[in-house]
A and B are shown apart, each in its own frame.
Chain A
């Protein structure tokens, strides 16, 4: 596609529910990043994939968060047993270069998760 596509755009989850957020990067992009943006804050790094390999998951806040990119294209961020503090916008970004952070990257429109 022309840009990074994320779905759903909005998700309301009851506390304790599991959610799955999808990211479809720009075709052929090697690098894929997930970020979490709380209200009034800048994006915070969660995890990074180079093709199908998850090279950095240091930003995942707890073991309730899990991300995968099994075929090196579409990625899914899963949050188990959601808590209110998980409420945020989840942003996905991709880059055509191996060193995505060196040249900057393009964000998708994000998924706004609200846990009630």
Chain B
């Protein structure tokens, strides 16, 4: 079982709709959770971090965390074609390194 799991997609939504991206993780001790956006041919860009249960909003983005269910999600409101990218979920692997463990990413396509 992979440590961080995401549906690879593609997830296709019409412009203006809400896009919902989901992620599950296996390590119950994880404390920090991140969403990165990666455009084709570019490097990942950090867009959201969340550390406690509940919702965290930043503009059109809302991250949701449920540690009991080991579940993280990202909602994108009023989706725009420019949001079309791969969204990577990352979890703090803990230990002395605190390296991030990434999922394989979900490809989001926003249709104009």
Contacts and interface: CB of A to CB of B under 8 A. Distances in A.
Contacts of B105: 41-42
Contacts of A2: none
Interface string B91-105: 011011111111111
Interface string B63-96: 0000000000000000000000000101011011
A1 interface: no
Interface residues of B, number: 26
B25 interface: no
Contacts of A51: none
Contacts of B44: 43, 91, 107
A91 B32 contact: no
Contacts of A109: 42-43
Contacts of A99: 98
A98 B34 CA distance: 18
B46 interface: yes
A48 to B, nearest CB: 5
Contact of B34 (A44, A55, A104, A108): A104
Given A56-B95, A56-B97, 15 more contacts: A33-B99, A40-B8, A40-B104, A41-B105, A42-B88, A42-B90, A91-B43, A99-B98, A101-B93, A103-B32, A103-B49, A105-B46, A107-B43, A108-B43, A109-B42
